[in-house]
Amino acid sequence: MDGSSILPSSTKRKKVLDLYSIYVVYSSMRKPLNTKEIKELNRKLSLPEVRTGPRKELAPPKLTQAEWNYLVYVSLAKVREANGNQFGKKSK
């Protein structure tokens, strides 16, 4: 008797869906934005500040996961250049 037969079928299905969603998110992270999407991102970032709530707190812009990934990628460009674009190697 293997361990996978103990789990109910809904749990098996959930694990498969979780693995698939992780794959979809990871594959979408690697897909670069096209120029139209980059222009839209720049437009969203240049919009005036929005304050919401009773304390008038600043609300962040509504960005998709791909747009957040692009911002992180762009913001780490100097770090990648300083490392010589070598991923995972220790510097001397």
Least confident span in 16-25, 37-46, 53-62: 16-25
The answer to whether the beta carbons of residues 59 and 52 sit under 8 Å apart is yes
pTM of the model: 0.55
Quick check: 86 pLDDT over 90?
Answer: no
Quick check: 48 pLDDT over 60?
Answer: yes
Give the DSSP H/E element, type plus range, for residue 58.
Answer: strand 57-59
Cα 61 to the center of its chain, rounded Å: 15
Nearest CA among 11, 78, 54 for reference residue 3: 11
Residue with tokens 């869906």: 17
At residue 44, the pLDDT reads 93
d(CA 49, CA 91): 41
